Amino acid sequence: MHNNEIENLIHLHVDGAFSRRELIDRLVKYTGSVAAAVAAVESSGMLQAQTQACPAGVQVPEDAPGIHASTVTLHGEGGPLFAYLVLPTDLQLPRPAVLVIHENRGLNDHIKDVTRRVAKAGFVALGIDLLSRQGGTDRFTTPTDQTAAYNRTSVAERRQDMISAILTLKDQAYVVGDRLGAVGFCAGGANCIDLAINSRDLTASVVFYGNVPNPADPLQNISSAMLGLFGERDRNLNTGIPRLLTALQAGQRTYSMHIYEGANHAFHNDTGANYHAAAACDAWSKTIEFFGRHLDAPRV
């Protein structure tokens, strides 16, 4: 049990929930000493050698010109579904839309920033809150409480909420209803794969270091084009990549996979310990190019 708690705390640190010093303080509760806590961190294989600085201009503030952000409530099968909607301000004609799927801490400030980045690139962007059934991310004040709330949701509930969000986007007059995409990070990457398996409304999906289902049978139902972005040092998670590639090839889907040398899990999260600036910037460039190519072109 302690091993699970230790892994969860390290993962939260990687995702930017708290500093290394706070991580060690929290781990001592389970390891019994600072030395044992440090050893647990170093042996986990989940951390980079060092955090890299975020390049200027990567983040998009809420008051950035060219976008308009608001908190919205959608109809969900399990009750109110909270979301963060960001629109380009020059919305004269309907645009393709992208669903942004968060990590296992809910719709936090980092994911809202990522949602704004999608809109800044010219798409309608909707960041979904998969903690809505638990009262919403804002109800939980600590990262551990947010993760615990996420863990109380089920795969079926998350799938239903994502499909509700996609169907809502599809019906909006300012959205091109057959040009819908999704991008997910970490747990959101796994949810993005699940959505691609279970929704025929997706044209393109982008998976950042998401866990691949095992057994692989459901993967044959993926209908969207897919871009996968992984870190070379994220070795345990990467064991699922061959299953994903095999299914995409067998289904004759359009796909692209990139494994970034020297990058680890959560390399795109510029608030976390594993941020890898070069990999993150290249991966984001590929993400926007992928959406531009597949969401602007007619779907076959």
Residues constituting the chain? 300
Average pLDDT, the chain: 89
- Together in a domain, 180 and 221: yes
- Together in a domain, 33 and 166: no
- Together in a domain, 12 and 81: no
At residue 117, the pLDDT reads 98
CB 60 within 8 Å of CB 116: yes
The tens digit of pLDDT for each residue in 257-289 reads 999 999 999 999 999 989 999 999 999 999 999
Asked, for residue 235, whether it belongs to a domain, the answer is: yes
pLDDT of 27 > 80? The answer is no
pLDDT of 11 > 60? The answer is no
Asked, for residue 29, whether it belongs to a domain, the answer is: yes
CATH number at residue 79: 3.40.50.1820
Q: 223 or 25, which is more confident?
A: 223
- Using omega within 30 degrees of 0 as the cis cutoff, is the peptide bond preceding 55 cis? no
pLDDT of 153 > 70? The answer is yes
Asked, for residue 54, whether it belongs to a domain, the answer is: no
Asked, for residue 58, whether it belongs to a domain, the answer is: no
Q: At what angle do helices 155-170 and 187-198 cross, to 10 degrees?
A: 70
The tens digit of pLDDT for each residue in 67-90 reads 999 999 999 999 999 999 999 999
Taking the C-alpha atoms of residue 53 and residue 39, their distance in angstroms, rounded to an integer, is 25
Question: CB under 8 Å to 128, separation ≥6 — which residues?
Answer: 81, 83, 99, 100, 101, 102, 107, 161, 162, 165
Q: 48 or 54, which is more confident?
A: 54
- Together in a domain, 22 and 162: no
Domain count, the chain: 2
Cβ burial, residue 70 (10 Å; 0-12/13-18/19+): exposed
pLDDT of 104 > 60? The answer is yes
Asked, for residue 291, whether it belongs to a domain, the answer is: yes
pLDDT, mean of residues 212-234: 94
Question: Considering the entire predicted model, what is its pTM?
Answer: 0.87
pLDDT of 47 > 90? The answer is no
pLDDT of 32 > 80? The answer is no
Residues 245, 249, 252, 257: is their CA dihedral positive or negative? Answer: positive
Tokens of 5: 């708690």
pLDDT of 17 > 90? The answer is no
Closest CA to 280 of 294, 263, 292, 293: 263
- Together in a domain, 37 and 71: no
Asked, for residue 221, whether it belongs to a domain, the answer is: yes
CA angle 290/295/299 to nearest 5° reads 120
Q: Tell me the percentage of the chain whose pLDDT exceeds 90.
A: 76
**Burial letters for 232-243: b for 16+ Cβ neighbours within 10 Å, e otherwise?**
ebbeebbebeeb
At residue 33, the pLDDT reads 67
- Together in a domain, 200 and 290: yes
> Among 51-65, 76-90, 220-234, 255-269, where is mean pLDDT lowest?
51-65
Asked, for residue 60, whether it belongs to a domain, the answer is: no
pLDDT, mean of residues 20-49: 60
pLDDT, mean of residues 138-156: 95
- Together in a domain, 143 and 186: yes
At residue 215, the pLDDT reads 85
- Together in a domain, 96 and 20: no
Rg (CA), the chain: 19
Alpha-carbon distances of 3 from 23, 233, 265, 275, rounded to whole Å: 14, 20, 19, 24
- Together in a domain, 225 and 270: yes
SS3 state at 281:
helix
CB 79 within 8 Å of CB 59: no
- Together in a domain, 184 and 37: no
At residue 296, the pLDDT reads 86
pLDDT, mean of residues 176-191: 97
- Together in a domain, 7 and 99: no
The tens digit of pLDDT for each residue in 212-221 reads 999 888 999 9
Asked, for residue 116, whether it belongs to a domain, the answer is: yes
> Among 3-17, 90-104, 118-132, where is mean pLDDT lowest?
3-17
Domain range for 25 = 2-44
- Together in a domain, 30 and 89: no
Question: CB under 8 Å to 239, separation ≥6 — which residues?
Answer: none
